[in-house]
Structure 1
């Protein structure tokens, strides 16, 4: 029995529901499965109704409410559009647990379900249209049944897409995915049978090449950024992708203790040599690879490494070399973190930058947040005497 199935057997989901703000009736639980979990006059409904369809400051946020011995989890959505009555439509897909159970195993699936249904609503008004809305009760029943039986769910929402959901036991929570992370496939592309994956996965897979970061993939695939992060998080959990850092010649790397294991593992060596070789060039040797890895250091950028060892670079693809090293933890990136050391008394012309100069945001993250290149960020930092650089 897999971990998800074992966990859900001991911590079952009690109910899935769909709520919405009706322009005449106000907030209501429109559909639920099983029926009768949240009744019209129940104390549970009275306790949570203001949170299943909340005020604007709580919309588009994950909400967990503990009340009447239950735990209600949802991610309410509000879409502004003049086509709707009152020019907006509010809805929420949520679930109910016993309040002694942890909410964290179900949070990823609620986020994904909410993002997915939001996309369908934006594309074809699936949730608000009275005809397609009639499919929601069957959808809730299927999700409820499959998750409680297997810990996972695979269901067709519309003919062209399939929704995949999974319960994540506490010890196996997927790691967060950031806009500046770079996903790289750990399995061959032909492993994926696209018709078996949801629409988002089908859209983003062609752009996962080990060089494009999450934010860029979302733009190129024309997919919502949050939905892209959730999808890649799911792929990473199943070990279909691994997350590495953005490749730049200004990057700095150092070796790890695992390089010694690599030196003694002939199978890894042969795999690496095949991976990093340049097509149409003389094959690299183990000496070439080890020379380049050992040439990395705290003060050595990748650009400098290529200049110092230009002969080895003619045989070794430096991009593939770095990828292989990161995937197998032979090397790690030393990131640049801008830190503001004193307050400015004059008018702050770079407030957009200064909000990320607390030493907690890497240069890659800041570039994604501000929509600038690494060189543009460096130019800003060089002109600001109140900012120093911390490498870690």
Structure 2
């Protein structure tokens, strides 16, 4: 390790959220990123490498998952909604935070879970996520994710209003 390097994996320091993205299991395309802020922070190659862990099998649904790859730490809370209205009778999604691999992220786990549950309730009430995905225009979702990232990084808190 470089003597001047202040940050390293396991150093115990909190770092900023570098990216927030929402991914889903598309019925024909498979796992894909629906929206991310900033755009293209997670490349298709990195996502394809970890997509099986980010959109996992049923046993890991509704569990906090952390994947570290290529200097990035991806934190998520994957969810599956079973309903006949969805293609393949289920809708899988995961809201993920991306931080530096060295960053301590345990304090973000309750936040990613709470935000996922917020999106889950919006989906159950009005199909909010599915509509954004089907339209191909996730502008509202992108604005929400941008607000969350900026507020958490700068104010260490966030209040959301949608509607």
Instruction: Mark yes or no: TM-score above 0.5.
Output: yes
Show the counterpart of 1:151: 156
Equivalent residue number for residue 17 of structure 1: 21
Contact kept, 8 Å, 1:75 with 1:93, in 2: the verdict is: yes
Which residue of structure 2 aligns with residue 33 of structure 1? 37
Equivalence map 1:351-390=2 (5 Å):
none
1:68 to 67, 70, 87: 70
Tell me which of 135, 143, 147 is aligned to 1:142.
147
The question of whether the paired residues in 2 share the 8 Å contact of 1:76 and 1:91 is answered with: yes
As a proportion of its length, which structure holds more helix? 1
SS at match of 1:37: coil
What count of residue pairs does the alignment treat as equivalent? 148
1:47 shift after superposition? 3.2
Task: Find the aligned partners of 1:116 and 1:155 in 2 and give their Cα distance.
Answer: 10
* Unmatched 5+ stretches in structure 1: 1-9, 159-392
List 4+ stretches of structure 1 deviating above 2 A: 130-134
**Does structure 2 retain, via aligned residues, the 8 Å contact 1:64–1:71?**
yes
Tell me the CA shift for residue 54 of structure 1.
1.1
CA distance in 2, matches of 1:61, 1:84: 22
- Residue number in structure 2 paired with 1:52: 54
Partner of 1:101, secondary structure, is coil
Q: What is the aligned-residue RMSD (CA, Å)?
A: 1.8
CA contact 2:35–2:138 (8 Å) conserved in 1: no
- Structure 1 SS opposite 2:129: coil
- The unaligned stretches of length 5 or more in structure 2 are 1-13
Secondary structure at 2:147 match in 1: helix
Question: Hey, what's the Cα distance between the residues in 1 that align with 2:96 and 2:53?
Answer: 11
Deviation at 1:133, TM superposition (A): 4.6
Higher RCO, Cα 8 Å, sep 6+: 2
1:296-311 map, 5 Å? none
Q: Is it true that 1:83 corresponds to 2:85 in the alignment?
A: yes
CA contact (8 A) 1:75 1:111 kept: yes
Question: How many Å separate the matches in 1 of 2:138 and 2:162?
Answer: 11
**Within 1, Cα distance between the matches of 2:146 and 2:44?**
20
The CA distance in 1 between the partners of 2:138 and 2:53, in whole Å, is 22
1:123 and 1:86 map into 2 onto residues whose CA distance is 20
DSSP-derived class of the 1:97 partner: strand
Q: Give the distance between the partners of 1:134 and 1:86, measured in 2 at CA.
A: 26
**2 CA distance for matches of 1:133 and 1:55?**
26
Please give the TM-score of this superposition, normalised by the length of structure 1. 0.36
> 2-side partners of 1:87 and 1:119: how far apart?
18
Shift of 1:86: 0.7
Contact 1:47–1:67, Cα closer than 8 Å, also in 2? no
1:381 corresponds in structure 2 to none
State the shift of 1:134 in Å: 3.9
